[in-house]
Amino acid sequence: MGSIRERLADALAGAVRAIGVDSELPDLELGRAKATERGEYASSAGMKLARVLKQAPQQIASRLAETIVVPEGAATVEAVGGYINFRLTPQWLQRLVTQVIAAGPSYGSDDIGHGERLQVEFASINPTGPMHIGHGRGAILGDSICRVLEFTGHDVQREYYVNSDNTQTRRFGASVYARLHGKEPPEGGYVGDYVTEIAEMARHDLPGIEQLLEEEAEPKLRMYAMQKIVEQIKATVARLNIRYDEWFWENMVWESGLGQQALNRLREAGYLKEKDGALWFGDPADVEEEDRVVIRSNGQPTYFASDLGYLLSRFEVRGFKRVIEVWASDHHGYVPRMKAAAAALGIDPAKLVIILHQMVNLKEGAARSAPTKMSKRAGRFVMLDELIDRVGSDPVRYFYLLRSPDTTIEFDLELAVTQSNENPVYYAQYAHARLANVEATAAEKHPRLPEQADVSLLVESWELDVARQLAFWPEVVEDAVRLLEPHRIPYYVQDLATAVHRFYHAGNEKGEHRVVVDDPNLTRARLELCRAARHTLKTALDLMGVSAPDRM
């Protein structure tokens, strides 16, 4: 059924046809009105059509306002200048409350995906160290994107790609080997304390490992250490309410033969060539993009070669219609290469959607003016677990989700801890808890309330304001899923919570405006509004992976 915004837009388009516009319609820009005096929605259709119709904007707007048939009598229409303003009617808002209750947790969940089978791969960090606060951003963003997609009728598989076969993991293995023998990690190795800890665990879990030569011991230590790290990553993401369906190990690409299969296909299609003893990928038709090594001169495949087989695994073996990858922006240069690789393999590059988010830099030391890049290798980072320990999962998720992926975050741990009490997550959760509490109070004072709510009793401005916010929820979901931008949700939650707090507060000002009053019918009507608002708050918080407590 879609949002009321969408339905008004359809009605407007119909009216434009009815007044005789046959050509392709320009964007009529129906969107939220900025000032409430103008209603909830406005379109600049008068200006947009002035040229086509060769009439004054005001005249066109007036004709459209007279012609338009608004669905369900949802809004009154007014032409002002060349604008057309839509004001949602109290009657429609009242009925909406009932509809929200009837829809339950699915309110706002339009079936946009029609069961589209897709994969979201996110936060696939190298298994060479624990997650730090930078990784938390991609993990939380990816998880919320999954939640929004699932909510709107997509069949989502959540995947973590474990990069297990590469130079970095070999360096990691060598670092563990060095620590096992009480030595410093080699040049370019990993120096964090956790490396020593893993070496000590290995000493206990892998009897005799110390006696082996490095070339024998390193692969064993590497695999052992990676498994330890993956276990740790699993535990960390679980604390943040993040779920994965599959942990896909890179070595499977080669063990299943998909890596070779991808290379063979590219060779036959003319995308591979030998140079300097290595094997290179390049599109003969594209001189802009540089050639890339797939097999090194020492015979080892690069991560790029693994990615080729990995593409086949996902699009052909497992049959995903679309794959969404969430990457930190330091990988952005890799996007054209992946798209080119997909195209060369015969996969539509448009089906490979890559979402980039900007970095999280660490502000450290007394001089907070100098952000420092986090580095696992150098052991310079704030672990995600520490952040969760100190402020809790809900504020962490809310903190990250509030920011558009395009904004660089400069993270200050001390500031994050001191400000955690002011985290807006509590404002939203408090609104939920207040509603839950008032519903419980109503049940105590009125054990036998009418079954049906007479929503026409909801006439106060603060009551209709809550209903108005409920009307906006479906379009927030539409935008979040269309743009794959979950940060729209916490901003909506803030608005809905504000309406709820004002509604609640009206009862503090005057006893007769409380939810629980002597009149059972009025109580019942207001209770309906409470439930509708609470359910919508809970649904929105769920999409953020944030809890909705009944008590605070």
Partner RNA sequence: GCCCCGCUAGCUCAGUGGAUAGAGCAUCUGCCUUCUAAGCAGAGGGUCGGGGGUUCGAAUCCCUCGCGGGGCACCA
- The yes or no reply on residue 276 touching RNA (CB under 7 A) is yes
Q: How many CA atoms lie within 13 A of 26 on its CB side?
A: 13
Residues 91, 106, 404, 452: which binds RNA (CB under 7 A)? 404
Min dist. Cβ of residue 81 to RNA (A): 5
Which of 155, 289 has the CB closer to RNA?
289
Q: Alpha-carbon distance 531 to 529, whole Å? A: 5
- The yes or no reply on residue 35 touching RNA (CB under 7 A) is yes
Which of 6, 316 has the CB closer to RNA?
6
- The yes or no reply on residue 340 touching RNA (CB under 7 A) is no
- The yes or no reply on residue 505 touching RNA (CB under 7 A) is yes
- The yes or no reply on residue 397 touching RNA (CB under 7 A) is no
Residues 17, 32, 183, 243: which binds RNA (CB under 7 A)? 32
- The yes or no reply on residue 334 touching RNA (CB under 7 A) is yes
Do 96 and 301 contact (CB within 8 A), yes or no?
no
Region binding RNA by CB under 7 A among candidate stretches 204-212, 232-240, 260-268, 332-340: 332-340
Min dist. Cβ of residue 534 to RNA (A): 12
Do 140 and 240 contact (CB within 8 A), yes or no?
yes
3-class DSSP string for 143-193: HHHHHHHHHCCEEEEEEEEECCCCHHHHHHHHHHHHHHCCCCCCCCCCCCH
Residues 51-90 contacting RNA, CB under 7 A: 80-83, 85
Region binding RNA by CB under 7 A among candidate stretches 112-120, 173-181, 451-459, 506-514: 506-514
Buried b (16+ CB within 10 A) or exposed e, 123-140: bbbbbbbbbbbbbbbbbb
Which of 444, 465, 458 is CA-nearest to residue 526? 458
Which of 411, 380, 396 is CA-nearest to residue 194? 380
- The yes or no reply on residue 7 touching RNA (CB under 7 A) is no
How many residues belong to the site for RNA (CB under 7 A)? 90
Token reading at 181: 């023998």
Residues 234-273 contacting RNA, CB under 7 A: none
Min dist. Cβ of residue 15 to RNA (A): 16
- The yes or no reply on residue 152 touching RNA (CB under 7 A) is no
If residue 279 lies in a helix (H) or strand (E), which one and from where to where?
strand 278-281
Residues 436, 458, 480, 532: which binds RNA (CB under 7 A)? 436
Min dist. Cβ of residue 451 to RNA (A): 20
Residues 369-388 contacting RNA, CB under 7 A: 371, 373
Return the beta strands (E) in 81-143 as ranges: 83-88, 116-122
Min dist. Cβ of residue 257 to RNA (A): 20
- The yes or no reply on residue 112 touching RNA (CB under 7 A) is no
- The yes or no reply on residue 487 touching RNA (CB under 7 A) is yes
- The yes or no reply on residue 531 touching RNA (CB under 7 A) is no
Pairing label, strands 322-328, 352-357: parallel
Residues 31, 90, 379, 520: which binds RNA (CB under 7 A)? 31
Distance from the first to the final alpha carbon of the chain: 36
Which of 100, 516 has the CB closer to RNA?
516
- The yes or no reply on residue 521 touching RNA (CB under 7 A) is no
Region binding RNA by CB under 7 A among candidate stretches 69-77, 142-150, 175-183, 438-446: 438-446
Region binding RNA by CB under 7 A among candidate stretches 224-232, 253-261, 292-300, 314-322: 292-300
- The yes or no reply on residue 122 touching RNA (CB under 7 A) is no
- The yes or no reply on residue 447 touching RNA (CB under 7 A) is no
Min dist. Cβ of residue 524 to RNA (A): 13
What is the secondary structure of 496-509 as a DSSP string? HHHHHHHHHHHHHH
Residues 151, 485, 534, 537: which binds RNA (CB under 7 A)? 485
- The yes or no reply on residue 437 touching RNA (CB under 7 A) is yes
- The yes or no reply on residue 120 touching RNA (CB under 7 A) is no
Do 426 and 434 contact (CB within 8 A), yes or no?
no
What is the secondary structure of 331-382 as a DSSP string? GGGGHHHHHHHHHHTT--GGGEEEEEE--EEEE-SS-TTSEE--BTTTTB--
Residues 36, 106, 167, 461: which binds RNA (CB under 7 A)? 167
Do 539 and 420 contact (CB within 8 A), yes or no?
no
Q: Alpha-carbon distance 272 to 265, whole Å? A: 10
Q: Alpha-carbon distance 119 to 354, whole Å? A: 12
Min dist. Cβ of residue 154 to RNA (A): 22
Region binding RNA by CB under 7 A among candidate stretches 104-112, 163-171, 343-351, 383-391: 163-171
Residues 172, 400, 426, 472: which binds RNA (CB under 7 A)? 426
Q: Alpha-carbon distance 134 to 376, whole Å? A: 11
Region binding RNA by CB under 7 A among candidate stretches 12-20, 241-249, 252-260, 294-302: 294-302
Phi, psi of 285 (to 5 degrees): -85, -10
Which of 98, 83, 99, 97 is CA-nearest to residue 39? 83
- The yes or no reply on residue 278 touching RNA (CB under 7 A) is yes
Q: Alpha-carbon distance 398 to 396, whole Å? A: 5
Residues 111, 267, 491, 519: which binds RNA (CB under 7 A)? 491
For the chain, how many residues are written?
552
